[in-house]
Amino acid sequence: MSINQIIKDKNIKLTTARVAILELFKSANKPLSYEDIKKDIAMDKATFYRNISNFEEKGIINAFESNDRRRYFELNIKPHAHFVCVSCNSVKCIKTIDIDIPNHQINNVIINGKCDICILNNR
């Protein structure tokens, strides 16, 4: 689905900033924090977070907080788990775990542990 269609379906005003934010998340292969994308967007932090808040309310974006106390965001396409390394704070999507609890809606599952790189480097 196109970004323009997502915005239209959620009855949100189409702006350049909103399209820019959603395009970044659409092209990402993992959740991103503001710090990850601030160099790639032409807007201030307040504008970014104001739009993110709107997207979260409308169910377009999922968010979670990592061990490093950063909030990470991604398009709300299909619920899945995330692995967060307790040593280097890297974040990875885990698409192979299907999680289903009858009569419940799952938005995020966070699994904490050490990534392969930190295990190899004894961090």
Q: How many residues does the chain have?
A: 123
* pLDDT > 80? residue 107: no
> Is the overall model pTM greater than 0.75, yes or no?
yes
- Residue 49 — pLDDT band, cuts 50, 70, 90? very high
- Residue 67 — pLDDT band, cuts 50, 70, 90? confident
In terms of Cβ atoms closer than 10 Å to its own Cβ (0-12, 13-18, 19+), residue 72 is buried
pLDDT of residue 58: 95
pLDDT of residue 100: 75
Residue range 10-22: mean pLDDT, rounded: 93
What rounded mean pLDDT belongs to the chain?
90
* CATH fold label, 3-120: Arc Repressor Mutant, subunit A (1.10.10)
Instruction: Break the chain into its structural domains and give their ranges.
Output: 3-120
Q: Kindly list the distances between the CA atom of residue 91 and the CA atoms of 32, 59, 100, 101, in Å, as whole numbers in the listed order.
A: 9, 21, 22, 24
